Amino acid sequence: METPKIVNPETNKAVLITGASSGIGKSCALELDRLGYQVLAGVRNPEDGKALTEIASERLTFLIIDICDRTNISSAVNTVAQLVGDRGLYGLVNNAGIAIGAPLEFIPIPELRQQLEVNVIGQVAITQALLPQIRQAKGRVVNIGSISGRIAFPFMSAYCASKFALAALTDGLRMELKPWGIKVVLIEPGTIQTPIWEKSIKFADSLISKMPQPLYSQLYGTATENMRNAVLKEGSIIAKPEEVAAAVAIALTAKKPKTRYLVGDKIYLKAIFALMPDRLRNWMILKEIGIN
Ligand SMILES: NC(=O)c1ccc[n+]([C@@H]2O[C@H](COP(=O)([O-])OP(=O)(O)OC[C@H]3O[C@@H](n4cnc5c(N)ncnc54)[C@H](OP(=O)(O)O)[C@@H]3O)[C@@H](O)[C@H]2O)c1
């Protein structure tokens, strides 16, 4: 991967990152701060914002942004306008996300909506709201997709659907915004070590505890256990969020950024895996997680 150029702090390009409290978003905030950008870190909890400001330069400020809350988005847009003024917003890193894992048959519809609300609709809502300021800066939009936007996994269908959708939105938006020179990039990480795995398992446990018993256990008990072990195994892979942050930095700094950046352990193998015939790929995934 190319090494991103250090931006002269005096150029003071402003970049907003959603979901900067932990994992990939936090790494992006710190890396872009280190490179000299004016980082506007979107968090939901002020304590997370304060913690970030303590380990970053004075340029970094935090904003309270819940991408599913319309009022919250519009007040964040006003704050961004005050902070960036005529420069506009150079970068928007749409990173916030959640991962709901459970058999699709039993995911309650409100939870399914929530998965799509955060990972798809929320991304569009914040992008729409900030586009005038991005246009002003002839800036860039960097969306954090996933390899799960190319391969669907059982019991992660809702999450995968959200990332497939985000990939399509990114492609479409790139073409729509070309007349203004706004570049739109998709980052596609494989498995990265962040709190998302633990949160996902915790959420799945709470969902499963509410599922109709003994029906659920009879139908999906073994499969759920196998999937949990597979997730734990994936979650122990040591690709770090800093690798994703480095790709985001390149997407923002490269003169001609690629449309997509794949990041993570054996990621090119996974990308090839996505191109296999459906039945072969399905068989291999099921075999890997011990389901016949
Ligand atoms: N880790 C991986 O293996 C992996 C792989 C591919 C793609 N990704 C993607 O990378 C992105 C970051 O995930 P991560 O792995 O770094 O997980 P993470 O540490 O759990 O971070 C998720 C972030 O999203 C925020 N968030 C959740 N709902 C939000 C909402 N409604 N509005 C604003 N912020 C919200 C969280 O804020 P709170 O702390 O307030 O909840 C947190 O800051 C996600 O889009 C994820 O799908 C991750």
pLDDT in tens, 15-29: 999 999 999 999 999
Q: How far is CA 83 from CA 1, 53, 120, 124, in A?
A: 32, 16, 27, 22
Confidence of residue 290 (pLDDT cuts 50, 70, 90): confident
Report the pLDDT averaged over residues 174-193.
Answer: 97
> Is 189 a pocket residue for ligand 1 (Cβ < 6 Å)?
yes
Report the pLDDT averaged over residues 113-130.
Answer: 98
Which of the pair, 212 or 173, is modelled with greater confidence?
173
- CA dist 75 and 77 (Å) reads 5
Q: Give yes or no for a contact between 98 and 119, defined as CB atoms under 8 angstroms apart.
A: yes
Residue 62: which H helix or E strand, with range? strand 61-64
Which range is least confidently modeled, 24-28, 96-100, 121-125, 285-289? 285-289
Report the pLDDT averaged over residues 176-205.
Answer: 94
3-class secondary-structure state, position 168: helix
Which pTM does this prediction carry? 0.97
Give the active site residue among 159, 216, 220, 261.
159
Say if residue 87's pLDDT is above 90: yes
Active site residue 216: no
- Dihedral class, residue 125 (left if φ above 0, else alpha if ψ from -120 to 50, else beta): alpha
- Which residue's C-alpha comes closest to atom 33 of ligand 1? 66
Confidence of residue 292 (pLDDT cuts 50, 70, 90): confident
Nearest C-alpha neighbor of 233 from the set 288, 182, 280: 288
**Counting Cβ atoms within 10 Å, is residue 281 exposed (0-12), middle (13-18) or buried (19+)?**
middle
- CA dist 66 and 219 (Å) reads 36
Report the pLDDT averaged over residues 257-285.
Answer: 96
> Is 97 a pocket residue for ligand 1 (Cβ < 6 Å)?
yes
Q: CB neighbours of 161 closer than 8 A, spacing ≥ 6? A: 115, 116, 152
Ligand 1 centroid to Cα of residue 178, in Å, is 28
Residue 167: which H helix or E strand, with range? helix 157-176
Report the pLDDT averaged over residues 214-238.
Answer: 81
Enumerate long-range contacts of 110-113, CB under 8 Å, 24 or more apart. Answer: 111/158, 111/207, 112/158
Residue 133: which H helix or E strand, with range? helix 122-137
- CA dist 93 and 141 (Å) reads 6
Ligand 1 centroid to Cα of residue 222, in Å, is 28
> Is 224 a pocket residue for ligand 1 (Cβ < 6 Å)?
no
3-class secondary-structure state, position 61: strand
Q: CB neighbours of 133 closer than 8 A, spacing ≥ 6? A: 77, 80, 81, 84, 88, 89, 139
Q: Give how far the C-alpha of residue 64 lies from the chain's centroid of Cα atoms, to the nearest Å.
A: 18
- CA dist 242 and 25 (Å) reads 10
Residue 280 CB neighbour total at 10 angstroms? 10
Which of the pair, 91 or 231, is modelled with greater confidence?
91
9-196+239-274: CATH number: 3.40.50.720
- What rounded mean pLDDT belongs to the chain? 94
> Is 240 a pocket residue for ligand 1 (Cβ < 6 Å)?
no
Which range is least confidently modeled, 111-120, 140-149, 224-233, 247-256? 224-233
Per-residue pLDDT of 143-153, as tens digits, reads: 999 999 999 99
Which range is least confidently modeled, 6-20, 130-144, 220-234? 220-234
Say if residue 35's pLDDT is above 70: yes
Q: How far is CA 70 from CA 107, 211, 232, in A?
A: 26, 32, 35
Confidence of residue 10 (pLDDT cuts 50, 70, 90): low
